[in-house]
Amino acid sequence: MAGTITHDRPAAAEGRQGGPLIVTEDADLLDDLLRLCAAAGARPEVHHGVPERGGGWEAAPLVLVGDDAARRVRGAARRRGVVLVGRDQDDSGVWRRAVEIGADHVLLLPDGEQWLVDRIADVAEGVGPPALTVGVIGGRGGAGSSTLACALAVTSAREGRRTLLVDADPLGGGLDVLLGGETAEGLRWPAFAASRGRVGGGALEESLPELHALRVLSWDRGDCVAIAPEAVRAVLAAARRRGGTVVVDLPRRVDEGVAEALAQVDMGLLVVPAELRAVAAAGRVASAVGMVLRDLRIAVRGPYAPGLDDKEVSRLLGLPLAGEVPVETGLLAANERGAPPGGDIRGPLARFCSAFWERAAVAGGGV
């Protein structure tokens, strides 16, 4: 059980990173709180009362006060991020004691354990604004969506953003291959197949291959492994908590796992070759994707069939135009030399991607 108390007070410790401060003399409660901190990947500071020097109380990103210690911290400075933790589900006095110490929340174990693990992990990771997450989908097979996804990620990383590229298509051959890093050390999707609940954002980032200054979550070369929707949700949520940008290369089908990915995408780019059959195919993809993703736009790729241009494709599909993806000659040859899509900073594809991210920055996170 967890409850929230609303009241105003200074945010002295807001925005700081680190482990929580635990205040309790209850040995059993302390064991439980240490276990939950370990599960969240945080190292706490433990005291029986308010630290004498005062700094720990003000500086800790989160303070966990055992119900046994409520009286001892009653005179401490008011601050945000104080949680009163108890066990007695029938003790109505816990709410009064929480108000007396200025607590934000009342949490009763064991019911509130998952909530508390999530809260500890949030402060340990220094959670800020979530990553701008862009999904890229092909309007038909061979539309070039994987190439665009890689180019967007490479450009984002080159411009100094924390960037994670996620390959959500197990049948796509692997984005690490497209980036020339199929042998790079790091975990691939099968390692996260059993993930449930919360995945640590920092641990996820550090475990993945680093290619061209960005992190890549792709597939290995083994048999195709089914990734449960819960695992997709947990992994993408962890990636978003790290901030920066997340680019997701999505398949054209929408199953439960893809729906979980789409639910965390801020904007989708539907890559549509400018030909009538591709437009027809893209219409079916857009219909399925649009059931989950509200903000879906098209990126038109030439050369153009007679009678078509980017605005006409946009009109036929009834979707806003994100831009025209330029044709860049020599991409295949460059890839064989180990250069990723978007790697040539003066190339038309890199310029398109740079303009895309610039619009995103001007819009404050939304393109």
Q: Which among 352, 309, 304, 283 has a CA at the least distance from the CA of 140?
A: 283
User: What would the two tokens of residue 364 be?
Assistant: 């404050």
Beta bridge partners of 325: 301
Decide if 287 contacts 281 (C-beta within 8 A). no
Q: What does the pLDDT profile of the chain (367 residues) look like in tens digits?
A: 555 444 333 333 333 456 899 999 999 999 999 999 988 878 899 999 888 765 689 889 899 999 999 999 998 999 989 999 999 888 889 999 999 999 999 999 999 998 898 888 878 777 678 899 999 999 999 999 999 999 999 999 999 999 999 999 988 888 999 999 989 999 999 999 888 777 888 889 999 999 999 999 999 887 778 899 999 999 998 999 889 999 999 999 999 999 999 999 999 999 999 999 999 999 999 999 999 998 999 999 989 999 999 999 999 999 999 999 998 888 888 877 878 999 999 999 999 999 999 988 766 555 5
Place of tokens 């003066």: 346
Partners of 249 in beta bridges = 136, 167
Give the CATH number of domain 21-125: 3.40.50.2300
Domain ranges of the chain: 21-125, 132-365
Which one, of 217, 213, 208, lies nearest residue 249 by Cα?
A: 217
pTM of this prediction? 0.75
* Same fold yes or no, 21-125 and 132-365: yes
CATH of 132-365 among 3.30.1390.20, 3.40.1710.10, 3.40.1190.10, 3.40.50.300: 3.40.50.300
